[in-house]
Copies of this chain bind each other. A is one copy, B any other.
């Protein structure tokens, strides 16, 4: 059930699957479990200070010898210090999100750190390819957390056409069939977020996991549009309040957002917590171990390609 692509080779992993950058959710424990199982685990540095990030990196190094990533969002006010930390700690892979990391790419690559960037548009992707990024993660607006405005299906069709670097598809991927589908578009890896929340190793509060299990595909909503930072979350009393406040009292809405992800992750608080998740929450049906989830995803991806091969009557002789 292994597969070789430019992404598996670049990142030195068995499965072409990357853990999406998730603040709070992306702990060393979860990321290490994912790396140990053969994919790429990712510490979501969110709004961490440099000291805390260093601690988390030391922690994951105790838990795995496999490659892992640190996700850094450009909104973090300590970006430059975080980059110093990942260089000092010799982190194998850095994944940038929520902004344009072009100025930092060269420094990291000079230190032999692989650099990927999450984008929601083809324009930024092209600029980052020119700046030397190793691969582009195209994230559709069905993803959880901060979102763009193009869907995964459209974005990946476009990115695989205009880029030379390998493309990783993100947003809405929670089945092995979706992995096969993204590969059909030309992607060479996928990023999975929401499905990893519903794993045994994820340290989120049980309420968070249960909200994902119970959600249908229409049970997310986009908060923060009016505030200029749209984020997809599971519908809860919190999200309802947020949507009202955004219109009526943007300042109160901003206040309510502070610490809201922590309140979801640590306390499972549905009235104060922001349960970030993608539309694919509606596809997740049970809590699995990370290892079982990855094996099931890959198994289904292979089965899907086998069916396609038969359906399109592709002959082995057409292989070159």
List residues of A whose CB falls within 8 A of some B CB. Answer: 3, 5, 121-123, 140-142, 149-155, 157-158, 160-161, 171-175, 177-178, 180-186, 216-218, 278-280, 282-283, 301-302, 304-306, 308-320
Contact = CB atoms under 8 A, between A and B. Distances in A.
Q: Is the interface of A mostly helix, strand, loop or mixed?
A: helix
B184 A172 contact: no
Nearest to A149: B218
Contacts of A161: 283
A158 B283 contact: yes
Nearest to A318: B306
B319 A154 contact: no
Copy number in the complex reads 2
B151 A308 contact: no
Contact of A150 (B218, B310, B315): B218
Given A3-B313, A142-B150, A157-B177, 19 more contacts: A121-B218, A123-B216, A142-B153, A149-B218, A151-B152, A151-B171, A151-B279, A152-B153, A154-B172, A154-B217, A154-B278, A155-B217, A157-B280, A157-B283, A158-B283, A184-B304, A185-B304, A186-B304, A309-B318
Contact of A177 (B122, B171, B184): B184
Contacts of A184: 177-178, 180-181, 183-184, 304-305, 308
Contact of A316 (B140, B302, B316): B316
A308 B180 contact: yes
A121 B279 CA distance: 12
Nearest to A315: B316
Contacts of A180: 181, 184-185, 308, 312
Nearest to A5: B311
Contacts of A282: 122, 154, 158
A310 B308 CA distance: 12
B316 A312 contact: no
